[in-house]
Structures are given as structure tokens and as C-alpha cells.
Structure 1
Amino acid sequence: MGLADADVAAALLGLAEPHGSFVAVKSLATGRYVYASPGLDDLFERTESSIVGSLDTDLMRSDEVQAMRRVEQAAMAQRSVVVSEHRLELAGRRREFSVTRAALGSEFVMALWAERTEERHRESHLQRALAQIEQQQKAIEQLRRELQAGSGRDDVSGLYLRAQFDDQLLREIDLSTREHREFALVLIALDPLPAAAQSLGAEAQQRLLEGLGRMLRANTRAMDAACRVGEHHFAVLLSGVGLATAHARMEQLRKQCTAQIVVLNGHDLGLSLSMGVASFPHTASKQDELLHASEAAVHEAQRRGGNQVVLASIPFGT
């Protein structure tokens, strides 16, 4: 391949420069640049002359040159596109770049430079913030466990257990029957972990259970009851609340949970819930039927892909 072909290819890729990327073409025979976008001249502080004709040793430290050379050799040997990350000391400041290389025949290698310095700084700040949140959440959960030790609550979520829920449900049915009023039953299921977090295993599930426990404790009234009724299932009794109001409250809770940051090992796990809302006596007037209706609604929410609230169907008698 001749130099004219390299010029054509470089000119085409030079269109990338307005988007913050720069193109260079280097001769493998001489090690000198035969083409460089104007942005690379600014990058290497060549204000009076271009880097064309320069060697990497004219522009970088020896360790940086060696790293560049290794990747160029890999691109030529593999005859495929190779992407690498490089850190360069330029004007006393460390800057980070993603460089995409491809062979141009057997004589030239082309490189597309994209600066990632600010992006990496943002990522670093985010990781530090997530680490701080994770430490705070661990401290909160440890303090909560110490305060509620021996209280009969679930150790992970801090909520009442299934036995207390069954008792509270019977009392709520009795009270609502005598006073001719409504109440709502909400069943909640944790949605599966996103693929990126599945490798974190049981500890990730525990963090999500702790996070959901915090959200339910903060978003239920004293007259309500929030309980853990299964490994990944929760129930909320909303006293004196009808179906429409219960749906609105649970939709608000779902959105808050989606926005909640639950961190493990620097990863935001994402708190996603499926909810089924039933009411007494409109959905059902018996305990078993009410539970079955809310369970069916949860299953429907999961069938639709999760992260949503579904109302139980209301039967119409003849």
C-alpha cells in the first residue's frame, strides 16, 4: 500500500476530529508520523510545527513509547483493530487516552486518539462516592441490628416476620368488617439482579433486602404493617386505604426504590420491585382469597418484566 492510500484513509478518519478524536498515521519503516490531525499538534504542544516527521521518542517518555510500540506490533501481527488505554505525562499533567489502531497494508499503522481524562476523573469520583455510601449503609444496618436485637424482627430487613403478618391480617379483616371500611394488601417481590451484579451472589441479595427494609420502614405509617413473608417477598397492610390510593402510594414507593442507591463492592445493584395490590372487601372478602388475589397480581407484574405495580382484578358477581 502506498503513502497516497494512507493519506486518503487518514483524511477520511480526520472527520472524527470535530467529535474530540484525532487521527495519526505512522510509517513502520521509519517510525515517523506521516500524517497527524491538527488536534494532535495542540495535544503535544507543537504550536509552530506539526508532529509529522517526528518519532514517538520526540513526544513521550521512554516507558510511554514502549507501550505504544507493543500495541502497534500487536495490531500489525493480528491484522485487526486493536484498542488500548494509555496514560501520558503532558505539560506536567497526567492525561488518559483510548487509542484505536489498525494496519494500513504492511507499511503504515493508523491510530485514532480519544481523550478520556475527564471521563476517568468522573468515574473515579463516582467510585469514591459509592464507596462512601456503601460504608454508611453498612454502619446504619449494623446499628439497626444492635438496637432491635431480641425484638422478634427479621435480622436482615428489620421488618416483622410472617407470624406477625398473619396475626395483623386477621385483626385488620376483623376491624374492617366491623367498621365497614377498606384496607389494602400489597405483596412485593424483589426482581432478579441485573446481569452485571449476578456474580455478586448472596451478599448482593442481602444488600437489596436491607435496602427494601429501609424503604418500607420509611414509607409506612404507624397504623400500617410491613413484614417479610418469604425469602424475597414482603407484604404491606395499608389500614383504611382503598385500592386506588394504595396503587398510587405503591407506585410512588416503586419509583423511590428505583432511584435508591444500594451499593456492594462499588456496584449500584438497582432496587427493582414487582408489586401486587388487592383490597378488602372489593377484591376479596376472605383471607385466603385476598392473599391469592395479591399473589396473582405480583405474578402478573413479574410476567410483564417486573419493576411495576399491578392491581388485582375485582370479581363481579351475577
Structure 2
Amino acid sequence: MNNPAAPDHAVPPAQGSLAHWLAGHGAVASDMGATLLSLIEPLNLLAAIKSLATGRYVFASPGLDRLFERSESSVVGSVDNDLMRAEEVVAMRRVEQAVMAQRSVTVSEHRLELGGRRREFTVTRAALGTEFVLSVWQERTEERHRESHLQRALQQLEQQQKALEQIRRELQQGSGRDEVSGLYLQAQFDDALLREIDLSTREHREFALVIIALDPAPAAIQALGEEANQRLLEGMGRMLRANTRAMDAACRVGHSRFAVLLSGVGLATAHARMEQLRRQCMAQIIVLNGQDMGLSLSMGVCSFPHTASKQDELWNASEAAVHEAQRRGGNQVVLASIPFGA
């Protein structure tokens, strides 16, 4: 006869493991706490459970022993006063009291002096029943250092941009150019456009007219006021001056609008050049008060003679294409339609 199958026996959790702690405190650890802890331990994050009655840690991830340099003794059984400075302990207790009072998950930032070095942590806490609190630690020290270095670099870039714009304004005084963008005024641009129409008509060649509109800035940028708009206009001027040839022309035609004349260029080439410019502008860093504001553009491109052959018709075609780009959500280049007919 076959022997009956031996009954299954659950393997007891290892002494000192998180599963062992839960087994001994099942009445205390809520379902939420058990779920959170079962996720935390396999990921080897810094996690701890503290008894509020005694203030002592009843569970601590191995990483916390290393963090607090507890090579001979464990964080388990310790109180915060054994591990941290007095002001750090006060900050920890204040957040723990808020967690227990509100009965909600709370995220807080803490700076600890460990081994002569300041280290920064994000600590997420949740109540386990009424007597214990779970804390999950994530170190942010290196991330904060990178953010600090980036902020200093942005501040330096902002100072350089301001200095360069001031020098440009001083150099172009009396030159008849727009003071903010450094580009042609519209009267000069209109003259250049008329000459291009005449030349292209006589030589049977193409050129392109592009109208560029700054897309509405996010609310956070708009809150910075007119100075933010001026920085964006200055940045747009720098980009157009750097990306137009000597035979081209660029001007500011409105509060947040620009026009570009691309001499001897067909519609397809003009589209490719403006798409490249749009991408470059997106990558351009324009800084105000240490904040990168970004530069998003809508562009409308028309060509002579395929789209239109008269000055006002060219303007109207480019404007219609800009409106279409904005209607589609902005930050794109739209070609003006080519009329077919008599």
C-alpha cells in the first residue's frame, strides 16, 4: 500500500527576519503594514519599525546598521538618542506624532550628520496599529548634490546671458534694430521682403517667408512677469541671429512674434531648416532666477511663388499656417497650403 502523503508543514521564519517579527506581532501589524513590509524587505531598502511606547526600534533593515555604523550592536533595541543628534531626534519625533495623530502616510525630509558628513533622506512613515510606526528611508544625498551643482550652473549661465545682452544693447545703440531681440525692425524687414520679391520675380527663383510665434508659457513662467517674457525674446533673438545667413533677414513683428525671410530657399528646405531651429530652441537654456524657462515655438512657412506672389498674400499665408500650428497644440512647424486653380 502506498503511504499516505505526509502533511505539509510551513517553514518557520528565520530568527531576526522581518517575517519573524510579523509572526510575533500579527495582532499589531495591520494588513497594510504587512503588505508594505513584504515589499520593502526583498528590495533591501532601509526600513525600520519603532515602538512608540518605548521609543526603541524593534526591527531594522541591515542597511540601517551600516548607515549608523552599528557594527558591533544593532539598531534594534536602540532609541533615536543613541543614533542621532538632539535636534535630529526632535525632528523625527515631531513627524512620528503627526503620523499617529493623522493616521495617514507621511513623507518628510531629514538631514543627519553621520560620520562627519551631512546626509539627506526622504523618510516615508505609516502607523502600524496604535503602538508602532513603520519608516522607509531613501537616501537623497547624491541627488541633492547634483541638484545643487545644476542650480549653481544655471545661476552662472543667467549671469552670462545678462552680461552678453547688455553688451549687445550697448553695441547696437543707434543701429535701428529692436532693442530686446537685436533683430531688424519691421520697416527694414518689409523693404528686404519687397527687394526679395522683385529679385525672385526677375530671376524666377523661390524664397520662403516664416512667421514664428512664442507658445504661451506655463503658468509658473507667466507668474515671473514681464521680465520672463523679455528673457524669452532675448533668447529667441540669439537663436535667429545664429541661424540665419547673411542673405536672409529676421525681425520682430509683434510682442511675441518674429518673421524670417529665407532667400533662394524652397518650401521643403525651409521646412527642414525651421524644424531644426525649433528643436534647437527646445534645447536652449534660458534662465531667470535660477529657473530654466524653456522655449516653445509655433511656425508657419510659405513660399514664393508657389504659395503666394504678393507681399500681403505671403504674410496672410504664413499667419494662417501659424494659427494652424497653434490650433494643433503648438511647438511645431506647419506649411502654408498651396492653392490649385486658375
TM bucket (normalised to shorter chain) is over 0.9
CA distance in 2, matches of 1:10, 1:93: 34
What per-residue deviation string (whole Å, max 9, x for no partner) do you get for residues 232-257 of structure 1?
00000011111111111111111111
1:55 aligned onto 2:79: yes
Kept after mapping to 1: 8 A contact 2:30/2:128:
no
Q: Offset of 1:12 from its aligned partner? A: 4.0
Whether 1:199 and 2:223 are equivalent positions in the alignment is yes
Shift of 1:19: 5.1
Matched, 1:185 2:209: yes
Match of 1:3 in 2: 25
Provide the C-alpha distance between the structure 1 equivalents of 2:265 and 2:35, rounded to a whole number of angstroms.
Answer: 68
RMSD: 1.7
Secondary structure of 1:156's aligned partner: coil
Tell me the residue number matched to 2:155.
Answer: 131
| Aligned residue number for residue 133 of structure 2 | 109
Give the equivalent residue in structure 2 for 1:84. Answer: 108
Q: Secondary structure at the match of 1:147?
A: helix
Say yes or no: does 1:150 pair with 2:174: yes
Query: In 2, distance between residues paired with 1:17 and 1:289?
Result: 69
Partner SS for 2:71: coil
After superposing the two structures, state which structure 1 stretch, 250-259 or 192-201, moved more: 192-201
Counterpart among 295, 298, 304 of residue 322 in structure 2: 298
Contact 1:10 1:35 in 2 (8 A): no
- 1:182-225 Cα offsets, whole Å, 9 max, x none, are 11000000011123322112111110100000000011011100
Aligned to 2:8: none
Structure 2 segments unaligned to the other structure (5+ residues): 1-21
For structure 1, the 5+ residue unaligned runs are none
Q: Which residue of 2 aligns with 1:72?
A: 96
Which deviates the most, 216-225 or 157-166? 157-166
Query: Offset at 1:271?
Result: 0.9
Q: Please state how far the C-alpha of 1:278 moved relative to its aligned partner.
A: 0.3
Residues 152-209 of structure 1: CA distance to partner in whole angstroms, max 9, x if unpaired?
1111000011111211111111111111111100000001112332211211111010
Q: Give the number of the structure whose alpha-carbon radius of gyration is greater.
A: 2
- Sequence identity percentage: 81
In the aligned structure 2, how far is the partner of 1:65 from the partner of 1:12? 25
Q: Give the Cα–Cα distance (whole angstroms) in 1 for the partners of residues 294 and 245 of structure 2.
A: 25
Q: Could you say if the C-alpha distance between residues 133 and 305 of structure 1 is closer, same or farther in structure 2, counting changes exceeding 3 Å?
A: same
Distance in structure 2 (CA, Å) of the matches to 1:264 and 1:17: 44
CA contact (8 A) 1:154 1:228 kept: yes
Q: Distance in 1 between matches of 2:56 and 2:66?
A: 18
Alpha-carbon displacement from aligned partner over 1:7-38 (angstroms, at most 9, x marks no partner) = 98367425335657311111111000111111
Matches of 1:161 and 1:232, distance apart in 2:
14
The answer (yes or no) to whether the contact 1:20–1:114 under 8 Å persists in 2 is: no
Whether 1:213 and 2:256 are equivalent positions in the alignment is no
Partner residue, 2:310: 286
1:102 and 1:263, CA in 2 relative to 1: closer, same or farther beyond 3 A? same
Count of matched residue positions in the alignment of Structure 1 and Structure 2: 318
Aligned partners of 2:197, 2:295: CA distance in 1, in Å? Answer: 31
- Work out the CA distance in 2 between the residues paired with 1:278 and 1:21: 58
Length-normalised TM-score, structure 2: 0.89
8 A contact 2:30–2:129 mirrored in 1? no
